[in-house]
Amino acid sequence: MPASKITKKLSSLICMALVLIPGLAFADYELNLTESVTALGKEIYDLHMLVLIICTVVCVAVFAVIIYSLINHRKSKGAKPATFHESATVEFIWTVIPFIILVIIAVPATKVLLKIEDASNPDLTIKATGWQWKWEYEYLDNGVHFFSNLDKASNDARQLGSKTDPRTVPNYLLDVDNPIVVPVNKKVRILTTANDVIHAWWVPELAVKRDAIPGFINESWFKAEKTGVYRGQCAELCGKDHGFMPIVVNVVSDSEYNDWVASQKKAMAAAKASAGKTWSKADLMKRGEEVYNASCAACHQANGQGIPGVFPGIAGSKVATGPVEGHIDIVINGKPGTAMQAFGTQLSPADSAAVITFQRNAFGNNTGDVVQPSQISR
């Protein structure tokens, strides 16, 4: 087909597309970076837009020259190839112009990169440790410490055989039982590491994303200028439940933050005191079910049946119906060579005793055994 006919054909298709596009229904896709509530995030966005504009202008100019050359310098129009071999002027121009463009990009990019890496003089430091599949947070300035798991509503809805429509669950897979709480307009340094495999701590609206690597501590920071709840996720493929370890940061006023710290310390003191308390079976079962749903159901399933060939069930298992000492050992110390984690450092003695009691008396096991916190050794 002659080139002139190809050109006319393309023009017709483009015109047809322009006529039809306004009538198409588009999904609500976000085609740009998430709007940030931090000054650093806004600088990152501005840098992104600068580079995008430069790249767009360069692409349009280059393709315009190519298309113009294809249309106006083709053989059918009698075009003759140039006879020159080289041109110092052209080579100078196509060397200098890219150099200038790179300098224009490099100067602001360097400034932003230096700010991203400057985590000095923080008002608050939080150590975030990734586990399969949850986050552990330690406030190094005031001693607050807790684990953050996928919230119960999302966890129930995502189970095998669940009859819950995930679309009816608010913030499905993006909510947790224990969110981070930080004060507004304060520089918060995040130290990221991992206990098992590589994870990544990512909250788009705070313009933070940093890998959490076992044996290493990486640092990042943010300073939220607006109160609110900001959600993120693990951004590194870390195993079967990678998609179920969200991050939630609650930015509050100074007074609300101080009240939250006080409540956390009170709860930690109560948890410590509970280690010497004798619990009733009913209380242990109630607490144990909560711990099981948060820490065990991901692998063993909410019904205790496990996933055949992948994760063993609790119902009728030799561990849950065998000697109590063996059950305690595997919960506290894990099982090397398997996916069974050591929960001794994750759960308090009371929570460990509660979940073991629950497992030994739920799912038809009915051993009648009651495990007290005083039986849990670390």
- The CATH T-level fold of domain 124-273 is Immunoglobulin-like (2.60.40)
**What tens-digit pLDDT sequence spans the chain (378 residues)?**
544 454 445 455 554 544 444 544 444 556 788 889 999 999 999 999 999 999 999 999 999 999 998 888 887 878 887 777 778 888 888 899 999 999 999 999 999 999 999 999 999 999 999 998 899 999 999 999 999 999 989 988 887 778 888 889 999 999 999 999 999 999 999 999 999 899 999 999 999 999 999 999 999 999 999 999 999 999 999 888 899 999 999 999 999 999 999 999 998 888 888 777 888 889 889 988 988 888 888 788 888 888 887 888 888 888 888 889 889 888 888 887 777 888 888 888 888 888 999 999 988 898 888 988 888 865
Alpha-carbon separation of residue 228 from 30, 182, 220 (angstroms): 21, 10, 20
Instruction: Enumerate the domain spans of the chain.
Output: 29-117, 124-273, 277-375
Beta bridge partners of 193: 129
Which CATH superfamily includes the segment(s) 277-375? Cytochrome c-like domain (1.10.760.10)
pLDDT at 273: 80
What gap in Å lies between CA 100 and CA 154, rounded to an integer?
51
Of 245, 219, 213, whose CA–CA distance to 232 is shortest? 245
What gap in Å lies between CA 130 and CA 141, rounded to an integer?
20
pLDDT at 245: 94
Residue entry with tokens 């890219």: 98
- The CATH T-level fold of domain 29-117 is Helix Hairpins (1.10.287)
Name the pairing type of β-strands 246-252 and 180-183: parallel
pLDDT at 28: 55
Q: Are 271 and 346 in contact (CB under 8 A)?
A: no
Name the pairing type of β-strands 145-148 and 228-234: unpaired
Q: Determine if the peptide bond prior to 133 is cis (ω within 30°).
A: yes
B/e letters for 4-43, b = 16+ CB within 10 Å, e = fewer, are: eeeeeeeeeeeeeeeeeeeeeeeeeeeeeeeebbbebbeb
Structure tokens at 77: 């129009």
pLDDT at 23: 47
| DSSP 8-state class, residue 85 | -
Residue entry with tokens 């051993």: 367
* Residue 230 DSSP SS3: strand
Q: Are 359 and 347 in contact (CB under 8 A)?
A: no
